[in-house]
Structure 1
Amino acid sequence: MNNMIIRQGRRILSIVLATSLFCACTPPPRQTGTPSDALYEKYHAEDLSMQESFNQFTADLFRDEISDSGISFHFSIADPASRGIDTVPLTLGDYSLDKMKQGTSDLQEAKKKLEGFNPRKLTSDQRLTYQILYSYIDTELTSDGMELYAQPLTTTIGIQAQLPVLFAEYSFYNKADVDHYLSLLSTIDEYYGQILEFEKQKSAAGLFMSDTAADHVLKSCEAYLIQPDHSFLAETFNTRIDALTDLTDEEKAEYKKQNLKILEEHFIPAYKNLISGITALMGTGTNEKGLSWFPEGKKYFEYLVHSNTGTSYDSVKSLKKAIERQMNSDIKALGQITKDHPEVLDSLDHYSFKYTKPEEILESLKSQITTDFPELPPCSYTVKYVPGALESSLSPAFYLVPPLDRYQDNVIYINNNPRFKNEDLFTTLAHEGYPGHLYQNVYFLSKKPNDLRSILSFSSYSEGWATYVEYYSYTLDNGLDPELGKLLAHNTAVTLGIYAYLDICINYEGWDKEATAKYLGTFYNVENTDITDSIFNSLVENPTNYMEYYVGYLEIMEMRSTAERILKDDFNLKDFHTFLLDVGPAPFSVIQPAFRNWLAKQLRS
């Protein structure tokens, strides 16, 4: 599963800029008698001035964005003073239609400011940031007028499921952090009230979730109705408090009392109100099928595809064809393996990895990837387990992205729910740890990128990378027969591809349950109605979620295949991985041109 984030409906950049920007796209004509050296120095000074202005522009955007939410603020930066920030936002944000509309206005203003820069006068790193930000803003503006299509509440990736875990991982660096935490936690009922009001507006517009989806959200909410003194939020709070050295025992005891009081008076009522509010709205969501059955559903799905996958393909239709090509490639590889090594089929029901404990798996992965991946700076990780009460409502595993200035501290959660017992922990931890999310985030943040880039979410890059290296991990020294490892990697890729393909069929082309079941039965021998219903409902409730993983994997595989075909014996896997990691999180529409430049340089060298 992905690095955990909270999405404020649609992602919004709240921008209030006082910076005066200017454009000097064309150099002034050369004056007679002006020495060329002096003119060069003048141009150079103009370039430096624009570069400095661009840095100020992105710094202002960064500060404004993280100041919208105390949770985002704390998880983005551990030492705000290092960025000249001295005010901590004591709010969980503003989840309202008005805020979203204001966000569109802010994005339009940011685009105007951005267009005031001449990319040719920026440094190479700044040009990349410029291209990424321009693409990001352009994509987000395509959702203008469709704000009520946003889905803040979904089964495992909705705000109601993720926010408590973020509270449980809210680091206490000092006493002030405890005060900020308690202030934020005490506003959760108000914040959920805003979300409920938003859901009422969705209902009035005929866009409320189906009863099936509402049932799943209600079950997720019920998992948090735990008595305060038995709550995981009390347990984790007490652990963090006890670890602080700048508090007396009396102060610690008082804080623990305050936390229990807030859990009782704000946290539990927030979930009770959400449950009663969603229950009251049930029956108003009349569409049990995909997005395309809503008035502007197809248009919104197109926005989601480009926003959540950042694909380099210009249409959903062309992307669907690319998905089919990659699936066929993996299916062909499966056929070749079973033809050449039929004995591997006998191992499918009883194979096992030689590493089974999380720490030994991570250490094994860490040591084995050095051949194909660049070195990381020193960092640490902690493996934790999802609280029992939340096992049914959270993912099999997830990684928490650390603050940009504390990338050394990493946390991976594992879900021990019996329904995930067939998940291969070795490959799961390759996805979440080395060389997956943990590795990629530490590598990126250790390069000290522009602060703004650290908070712009390009989940298909992150999830595509983690999915790609998860499949790579099947080929490592892990106790599997090498051919079996390849078979499992291609098989897992095909399975994810089916979800991505059906996502388009259901949410864009309008397939219903019957059409979905027919496809799965005809092509993949899936006859169990519970399985087909589960797949259908999951894709209806979380449009493009699986595509984030698969499209990222697809784009990376296409680049790798192109590089292997063109460079032949000169292709170096470590160099290719280093290129992707150096670019960092970005839309693939920006990465692809950078890849072509990289490939040209490889050919020249």
Structure 2
Amino acid sequence: MKNKVFKQGRRFLSLILSVTLLCACAPMKQPPASPSWAEYEQYHAKNLSAQNKFDQLTNDLFRKEISESGISFHFSIADPASRGLDTVPLTLGDYSMEKMKEGTKELLELKKNLDGFNQRQLTDEQRFTWQILRSYIDTELSSDGLELYAQPLTNTIGIQAQLPILFSEYAFYTRNDVDHYLALLSTIDDYYGQIMEFEKKKSEAGLFMSDTSADNVLKSCEAYLIQPDHSFLAETFNTRIDALTDLTPEEKAAYKEKNLKVLEEHFIPAYKNLATGITSLMGTGTNDKGLSWYPKGKEYFEYLVKSNTGTSYGSIRSLTKAIEKQLNSDIQAIGQITKEHPEVLNALDNYSFHYTKPAEILESLKSLISNDFPELPDCSYTVKYVPSSLESSLSPAFYLVPPLDRYEDNVIYINGNPRFQNEDLFTTLAHEGYPGHLYQNVYFLSRKPNDIRSLLSFPSYSEGWATYVEFYSYTLDNGLNPELGKLLAHNTAVTLGLYAYLDICINYEGWDKDQTAKYLGTFYNIEKTDIVDSIYTSLIDNPTNYMEYYVGYMEIMEMLNTSKKILKDDFNLKDFHTFLLDVGPAPFTVIQPAFRNWLAKQLRSH
């Protein structure tokens, strides 16, 4: 999980050489005089000065943003002193309208500072970072005035569902980390109090969630309303304390007692107050349909699409057409497979992969992908299971992004809830592990990008990549009939694409539940009321969530198909994957021009 915060190219000499070669091609009446060494040094100094200033700007930005929240601080960097940071922010942040307005002013100031740079004077890497930051700023500024449309509390991916997991994974490197952890956990009631004040403002503006959505949030809160000594936060805390070597047994026992006290006096009251506050506001949410039924709902949906997908498509209409095109492509592929290989239909309800245990699956994936993906540096992973009390309120699986200076240590969670028993663990771990989230993050962080890029959140790149490789994993030597693997990949893509399409229909076009049910029944033979209700409620609670996955997958597929079409026999899948991994998390509006440059270089090299 990445917090959505402010969220080796050629150097100057190479650029000078390329410019010189281009100039030499133009006809001239007489050759120009060679620049003097003094002139060259002056030109060189201006570029170096601009590059140093840009580094200073991004370093200052990183230090500022990382200091806004103690959780972000700890999960972003394991050794703060290496970046000159010696003060841990003992706060979970400021969730208020005032802070949001202040953030808008800061974005405007940052935009002004960025526009003061001449991009030609920056290195390739700095220029790319500049473009990413500029795109990010423009997107976030488009939400000015729409702050109350934000949804901090939602089932599964809301703050109240995910924050405790982050606390349970808060690493204890030294006793100082234990003190910081307890101090941060002690502020959770105040932090949730801020969120409830925000929800009250939403209610006053007529923007509070529907009672159905509120019920779902209340259910997620119930999982944390248990005795402190029976809480998974007590269990995980004790395990981390016992692993420390710089504490005496007496000190460890004292810390364990203090943790139980903080859970009793702050954590559990935080969830009780949250539940009480939500209950008191129930009935004030008058809209039980999609975003478009709010006064500025369409405008906010457009912002969410830009922010969460970073799509290269310029309008919702053009994006919808692209989704329809990809959906039809996958549906046609299914039809072709079943026509040519009808026997695969008999195996749909009874198939199995070679490996079924997490460790075996991940190790087999590491081997199976070696031909199509670049090699990773050494790293490790730990597979954990979601605590049983949280199974009903969390995703089927998830990966925790490691600190930028400790990418070697990775954690994957699997949800053992029976409702996920039909999920294919092999492809799920391809999504979360190799060559999915774990692989992509380790690769990116090992290349030591600009620190600010580790804070930027571009979920559609990350989830699009993980979805793309998840579908890819169906076609590996995994125990499946190859044609069955292709069928399952296309079928899963259709399901995800359907959710993305309905997301637009419900939250932008204004479809109600009856229209949604009619569409699902007519085109997909889905007529069970409980399934329709589940889909409809999920898309209302989490607008653009499924689009993050599908639009990212779709953008990658478009680049892949373009590469194959243009490069033909010279196309190399490993080279394509290396390009996407080298680019790293970014909006597709920035990635697409970089892709065209890469494609042109591939053509020239062949």
Normalising by the smaller structure, the TM-score range is: over 0.9
Q: Per the alignment, in what secondary structure is the counterpart of residue 356 of structure 2?
A: coil
Q: Which runs of 5+ in 1 are unaligned?
A: 14-31
Q: Per the alignment, in what secondary structure is the counterpart of residue 369 of structure 2?
A: helix
- TM-score with structure 1 length normalisation? 0.95
Question: Structure 2: how far apart are the matches of 1:236 and 1:250?
Answer: 19
Mapping of 1:191-210 within 5 angstroms? 191-210=191-210
Question: Structure 2: how far apart are the matches of 1:555 and 1:318?
Answer: 13
Q: Per the alignment, in what secondary structure is the counterpart of residue 370 of structure 1?
A: coil
Mapping of 1:197-596 within 5 angstroms? 197-596=197-596
Question: Structure 1: how far apart are the matches of 2:2 and 2:486?
Answer: 32
Question: Structure 1: how far apart are the matches of 2:165 and 2:42?
Answer: 54
Tell me, yes or no, if the aligned pair for 1:377 and 1:446 is still in contact at 8 Å.
yes
Question: Structure 2: how far apart are the matches of 1:12 and 1:603?
Answer: 36
Tell me, yes or no, if the aligned pair for 2:6 and 2:456 is still in contact at 8 Å.
no
Amino acid at match of 1:309: T
Mapping of 1:136-147 within 5 angstroms? 136-147=136-147
Superposed CA offset, 1:471-491 (max 9, x none): 000001111000000000000
Question: Structure 2: how far apart are the matches of 1:581 and 1:344?
Answer: 34
Q: Which runs of 5+ in 2 are unaligned?
A: 8-31
Tell me, yes or no, if the aligned pair for 1:218 and 1:278 is still in contact at 8 Å.
yes
Question: Structure 1: how far apart are the matches of 2:124 and 2:565?
Answer: 28
Question: Structure 2: how far apart are the matches of 1:153 and 1:334?
Answer: 38
Q: Per the alignment, in what secondary structure is the counterpart of residue 371 of structure 1?
A: coil
Mapping of 1:138-157 within 5 angstroms? 138-157=138-157
Q: Per the alignment, in what secondary structure is the counterpart of residue 383 of structure 1?
A: strand
Question: Structure 2: how far apart are the matches of 1:5 and 1:34?
Answer: 51
Amino acid at match of 1:98: E
Q: Tell me by how many angstroms 1:37 deviates.
A: 2.5
Q: Tell me by how many angstroms 1:33 deviates.
A: 10
Q: Per the alignment, in what secondary structure is the counterpart of residue 448 of structure 2?
A: coil
Q: Tell me by how many angstroms 1:422 deviates.
A: 0.2
Tell me, yes or no, if the aligned pair for 1:583 and 1:591 is still in contact at 8 Å.
yes
Q: Tell me by how many angstroms 1:226 deviates.
A: 1.6
Superposed CA offset, 1:223-265 (max 9, x none): 1112100100000000000000111111100000000000000
Q: Tell me by how many angstroms 1:38 deviates.
A: 1.9
Question: Structure 1: how far apart are the matches of 2:36 and 2:591?
Answer: 37
Deviates further, 292-301 or 37-46: 37-46
Question: Structure 1: how far apart are the matches of 2:71 and 2:35?
Answer: 56
Question: Structure 2: how far apart are the matches of 1:285 and 1:265?
Answer: 31
Question: Structure 2: how far apart are the matches of 1:407 and 1:35?
Answer: 46
Question: Structure 2: how far apart are the matches of 1:34 and 1:443?
Answer: 44
Question: Structure 2: how far apart are the matches of 1:207 and 1:448?
Answer: 42
Q: Which residue number corresponds to residue 172 of structure 1?
A: 172
Q: Per the alignment, in what secondary structure is the counterpart of residue 412 of structure 1?
A: strand
Amino acid at match of 1:355: Y
Q: Which residue number corresponds to residue 17 of structure 2?
A: none
In structure 2, relative to structure 1, the CA distance for the partners of 1:575 and 1:262 (3 Å cut) is same
Matched residue pairs, number?
A: 581
Amino acid at match of 2:397: A
Q: Which residue number corresponds to residue 24 of structure 1?
A: none
Tell me, yes or no, if the aligned pair for 2:301 and 2:543 is still in contact at 8 Å.
yes
- TM-score with structure 2 length normalisation? 0.95
Tell me, yes or no, if the aligned pair for 1:6 and 1:159 is still in contact at 8 Å.
no
Question: Structure 2: how far apart are the matches of 1:475 and 1:43?
Answer: 53
The structure 1 segments of at least 4 consecutive aligned residues displaced by more than 6 Å after TM superposition are none
Question: Structure 2: how far apart are the matches of 1:191 and 1:127?
Answer: 37
Question: Structure 1: how far apart are the matches of 2:85 and 2:115?
Answer: 27
Amino acid at match of 1:549: Y
Q: Which residue number corresponds to residue 17 of structure 1?
A: none
CA-atom RMSD in angstroms:
1.0
Question: Structure 2: how far apart are the matches of 1:330 and 1:120?
Answer: 42
Q: Which residue number corresponds to residue 117 of structure 1?
A: 117
Mapping of 1:153-164 within 5 angstroms? 153-164=153-164
Question: Structure 2: how far apart are the matches of 1:449 and 1:33?
Answer: 40
Question: Structure 2: how far apart are the matches of 1:93 and 1:405?
Answer: 23
Is the counterpart of residue 130 in structure 1 residue 127 in structure 2? no
Q: Which residue number corresponds to residue 23 of structure 1?
A: none
Tell me, yes or no, if the aligned pair for 1:12 and 1:104 is still in contact at 8 Å.
no
Tell me, yes or no, if the aligned pair for 1:6 and 1:163 is still in contact at 8 Å.
no
Question: Structure 1: how far apart are the matches of 2:377 and 2:474?
Answer: 25
Tell me, yes or no, if the aligned pair for 1:12 and 1:103 is still in contact at 8 Å.
no
Q: Tell me by how many angstroms 1:36 deviates.
A: 2.5
